[in-house]
């Protein structure tokens, strides 16, 4: 039998240890709410991603790039990084424009595009020479220009964004798809516009089906085309599938065999993409690419429809910084005048 003193000492020791354990838990325990916050903050899914947006700044139409950037920046709280792509001769102008206007707050990188990569890959076509400008082909080379991002948005310069660019960035790409585009048959409200101005929205309008090479693709000429003026791209898949190499192959074939031209479809940059991405692309929500605003000076959508649109695209000859054109008031909402005075809007009273 243990002496009474020893039992009391053991009980006292146990009591002290219990109190210490309780105090330790009190001090070191993280409340449940804080624990949840910590998990959320460290979860990669919950961390805010930077949204890379690629826009070209071409000579003679830099005001377009400025308006597009202005509209995106003004309508989102997301962390957007603009990649502004230009030629060596145009880069100083766009850089000064941004740095000397209210856009000086944006995050941006200026990227020089070397047109020598296109040497021997573009068939000269006199009907619409503006379509042969080197920057029209920047979208073919996205992984070479943008290194560190998994997902990238590419936008033509003749767009304005009325919604939150985060929504467009959240577009889901199916496994194995390198890009998402807007189908040219997606919105019933645009069908009437397409018919009224005689615009093509099938592969027949872009490829010359008289050529055996085109027929051998096995693509029905009535297949709905898509518009590559707005792209959400997965860079990993793009590189894995060697999309750039495939596009260059079809550019080369066109130089040799004239498989498509700017007299068809209105663009020499679209046709190779239609071939390479046929049946292998995801869809962008139609409201995120309302187009054909530049196809005819008489083509008009209803005001209500345009207000609901998240992105407007003046694809076609009639640009909103020029005259004649339609719905110019919506575009001018976002235009920022050139501090140097070199770029001026063309208006009937100017």
Maximum CA pair distance of the chain? 113
From CA 251, how far away is CA 255, in angstroms rounded? 6
**What tens digit of pLDDT does each residue of 143-162 get?**
999 989 999 999 999 999 99
Q: In sequence order, which residues have a C-beta less than 8 Å from that of residue 299 and are 6 or more positions away?
A: 193, 196, 197, 292, 293, 326
Give the number of C-alpha atoms closer than 13 A to the C-alpha of residue 290, restricted to the C-beta side. 25
From CA 327, how far away is CA 325, in angstroms rounded? 7
- pLDDT of residue 11 exceeding 90: no
**What pLDDT is recorded for position 268?**
83
Mean pLDDT of 321-349: 96
- pLDDT of residue 46 exceeding 50: no
From CA 278, how far away is CA 179, in angstroms rounded? 11
Percent of the chain with pLDDT over 90: 69
Mean pLDDT of 281-294: 94
**What pLDDT is recorded for position 20?**
62
**What tens digit of pLDDT does each residue of 217-260 get?**
999 999 999 999 999 999 999 999 999 999 999 999 999 999 98
Mean pLDDT of 109-127: 87
- pLDDT of residue 30 exceeding 50: no
Mean pLDDT of 195-201: 60
From CA 33, how far away is CA 201, in angstroms rounded? 54
**What tens digit of pLDDT does each residue of 125-145 get?**
655 666 678 999 999 999 999
**What pLDDT is recorded for position 37?**
29
From CA 336, how far away is CA 343, in angstroms rounded? 10
Tokens representing 216 are 């051998």
Whole-number average pLDDT of the chain: 86
**What pLDDT is recorded for position 52?**
98
The residue to which tokens 């020893």 are assigned? 6
**What pLDDT is recorded for position 264?**
56
Mean pLDDT of 75-104: 97
* Cβ atoms of residues 309 and 207 within 8 Å: no
Percent of the chain with pLDDT over 70: 79
Mean pLDDT of 81-97: 97
- pLDDT of residue 50 exceeding 70: yes
Reported as a pLDDT band with limits 50, 70 and 90, residue 1 is very low
Query: Hey, what's the torsion of the CAs at 121, 261, 136, 143, to 10 degrees?
Result: -50
Q: Which of 53-57, 202-206, 266-270 has the highest mean pLDDT?
A: 53-57
Per DSSP, the residues of 10-76 read HHHHHHHHHHHHHHHHHHHPPPHHHHHHHHHHH-TTTSPPPEEEEEE--TT-HHHHHHHHHHHHHT-
- pLDDT of residue 196 exceeding 60: no
- pLDDT of residue 68 exceeding 50: yes
Domains, the chain, ordered by start: 45-186+226-235+276-333 (3.90.550.10)
From CA 72, how far away is CA 78, in angstroms rounded? 10
């Amino acid at each position: 039998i243990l002496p009474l003193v020893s039992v009391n000492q053991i009980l006292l020791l146990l009591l002290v240890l219990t109190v210490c354990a309780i105090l330790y838990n009190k001090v070191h325990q993280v409340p449940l709410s804080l624990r949840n916050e910590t998990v959320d903050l460290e979860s990669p899914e919950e961390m805010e991603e930077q949204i890379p947006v690629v826009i070209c700044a071409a000579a003679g139409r830099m005001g377009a790039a400025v308006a597009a950037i202005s509209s995106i920046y003004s309508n989102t709280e997301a962390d957007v990084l603009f990649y502004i792509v230009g030629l060596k001769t145009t880069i100083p102008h766009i850089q000064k424009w941004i740095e000397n206007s209210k856009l000086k707050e944006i995050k941006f990188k200026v990227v020089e595009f070397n047109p020598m990569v296109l040497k021997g890959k573009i068939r000269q076509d006199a009907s619409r020479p503006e379509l042969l400008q080197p920057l029209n082909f920047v979208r073919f080379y996205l992984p070479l220009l943008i290194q560190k991002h998994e997902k990238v948005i590419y936008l033509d310069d003749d767009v304005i964004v009325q919604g939150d660019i985060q929504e467009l960035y959240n577009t889901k790409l199916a496994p194995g798809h390198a890009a998402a585009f807007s189908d040219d048959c997606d919105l019933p409200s645009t069908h009437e516009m397409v018919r009224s101005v005689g615009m093509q929205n099938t592969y027949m309008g872009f490829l010359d089906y008289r050529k055996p090479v085109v027929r051998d693709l096995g693509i029905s000429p009535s297949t709905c085309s898509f518009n590559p003026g707005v792209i959400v791209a997965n860079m990993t898949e793009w590189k894995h599938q060697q999309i750039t190499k495939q596009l260059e192959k079809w550019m080369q074939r066109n130089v040799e065999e004239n498989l498509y031209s700017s007299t068809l479809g209105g663009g020499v940059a679209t046709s190779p993409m239609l071939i390479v991405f046929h049946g292998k692309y995801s869809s962008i929500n139609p409201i995120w690419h309302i187009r054909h605003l530049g196809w005819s000076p008489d083509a008009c959508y209803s005001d209500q429809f345009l207000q609901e649109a998240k992105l407007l695209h003046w694809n076609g000859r009639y640009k909103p910084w020029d005259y004649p054109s339609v719905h110019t008031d919506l575009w001018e909402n976002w235009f920022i005048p050139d501090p140097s005075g070199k770029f001026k809007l063309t208006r009937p009273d100017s």
